[in-house]
Chain A
Amino acid sequence: RKEVEQDPGPFNVPEGATVAFNCTYSNSASQSFFWYRQDCRKEPKLLMSVYSSGNEDGRFTAQLNRASQYISLLIRDSKLSDSATYLCVVNKPLGTMDTGRRALTFGSGTRLQVQP
């Protein structure tokens, strides 16, 4: 089983639509969760961290369900500029490696294409 799993998409939606991405992770000891976005042939950029209580940043809402090991990202009123690949990212938990590492594990990403 992959450490972080995402539906690869693509999700093709019209402008203004609401779209939701889901992600599951396998290690229950994971501690930090993020959504990154990656444009074609570019580096990933942090979109938002994900907190247990859920958090919102403008049109973006992230939720975490630790019991189900499930993370979601909701984009409302989607814009053309939202077209990108959205990466679910989980940190490797402490205790299984040197504490100085704290590497991130990336899902394979969900591609979003917003159409006019």
Chain B
Amino acid sequence: GAVVSQHPSRVICKSGTSVKIECRSLDFQATTMFWYRQFPKKSLMLMATSNEGSKATYEQGVEKDKFLINHASLTLSTLTVTSAHPEDSSFYICSARGLTTYEQYFGPGTRLTVT
């Protein structure tokens, strides 16, 4: 199947700093990328959807100024958690899909811990 990478896999940062997470589709062109967040023992919650070259669409309750998403190319999307707080600690997972399928390919996730 298609491969999606995410970097970093794990990050620990201090409260108030910003963290950037990269999501790359390695062997296909991802017209749409999705960012999810998962708290322990909870389901994945969609944060935002980004289409290449356009602004991201955020789900209700997700602050766009706090979670900055850039989808500058068909193979790369970035999520920046700005001014991180301990409550932002979570497992962040991206997924990518091509133009003609509902199937999404997930990255391995980034575990963010804010101290």
Contact = CB atoms under 8 A, between A and B. Distances in A.
B74 interface: no
| Chain A interface main SS type | loop
Interface string B92-113: 0101010000111011110100
Interface residues of B, number: 25
- Interface size of A as a range: 20 to 34
Contact of B49 (A91, A103, A105): A103
Interface in A66-111: 87, 91, 97-98, 100-109
Contacts of B49: 101, 103
A43 B109 contact: yes
A104 B59 CA distance: 12
Interface of B: 1, 31-32, 34, 36, 42-46, 49, 51, 57, 91, 93, 95, 97, 102-104, 106-109, 111
Closest 7 CB pairs of A and B: A108-B43, A43-B106, A106-B44, A32-B102, A106-B43, A101-B49, A43-B109
